[in-house]
Amino acid sequence: MTVMSRWFLVGLLALCPPLAWADPSPPAPSITEPSVILNSQINSGDTAWMLASMALVLMMTVPGLALFYGGMVRRKNVLATLMQSFAITCLVTLLWYVIGYSLAFTPGTPYIGGLSRLFMNGVIYIKDVAAAAATKDTPAVEAVIGRVSVSHLGVTIPETVYAMFQLTFAIITPALICGAFAERMKFSAMLWFMSVWSIIVYAPIPTGCGNRAAGVHRQACSTLPAARWCTSTQGSPRSLVRSLWVSVSATTKNPWRPTTWC
């Protein structure tokens, strides 16, 4: 293993501990709908990690995906292809703020979410304190000061952070579709198609598949050797490779399990 690869591995492993450094005491908000908790109950490590992840995913679309698709088309269509990714980013952001987040991640029917977060209504964040104070409405100020809303799907981070993190995936998903019709679709038709697709197709997916995905996620988190290794104080890259290999071998029922390796 070269020096560069060792430093790269150390850098990846360094991303795991910050979540354990933060305050481990979890809040106890509602598990069925968004709720309001104290600012002190927010986990700073989780929030920082989500913000960094949000930036990385957004960069995958602009400029990452835009430049990738732009390099695959003819010279005269490069600018149009770049603008498709940028326009989708702007369009989906507006749709997500208006109705997308509410349909995707708030309680509703078994197939689609509700409208409780239409136009982000009910989302409490720090600027609400100044807005409520400007109205000189004492009960309104007392209701939001020192508090922040959280999603029932992410109880340790502000709901604004959770909504924006999910927005980045709502952006990159339709942007990926552009590769299927590059140079063969009018710009206005593309905007109409992406608008309808984001609301009719993308938004119901988190609600309809939420329970099943949550069960798979819990099972993976409880059995994945890497998760246990990251929380161990005696873990090493060699032991991680060995535990992952044994896990994969057991999953695929491979009789050749080199448990003596590493």
Q: DSSP characters for 60-87?
A: IIIIIIHHHHHTTS-GGGHHHHHHHHHH
The predicted model scores a pTM of 0.67
pLDDT value at residue 214: 44
Half-sphere exposure of 111 (CA within 13 A, CB side): 3
Half-sphere exposure of 118 (CA within 13 A, CB side): 4
pLDDT value at residue 232: 45
pLDDT value at residue 144: 67
pLDDT value at residue 230: 43
How far apart are the C-alpha atoms of 132 and 193, rounded to whole Å? 39
pLDDT value at residue 37: 85
pLDDT value at residue 223: 43
pLDDT value at residue 226: 42
How far apart are the C-alpha atoms of 127 and 49, rounded to whole Å? 22
Secondary structure of residue 16 in the 3-state scheme: coil
Q: Which residues of the chain register pLDDT less than 70?
A: 1-31, 126-144, 208-262
pLDDT value at residue 257: 43
The token pair that represents 162 in the structure block? 């959770």
User: C-alpha angle 156/171/164, rounded to 5°?
Assistant: 25
CB neighbour class for 41 (10 Å; exposed up to 12, middle 13-18, buried from 19): middle
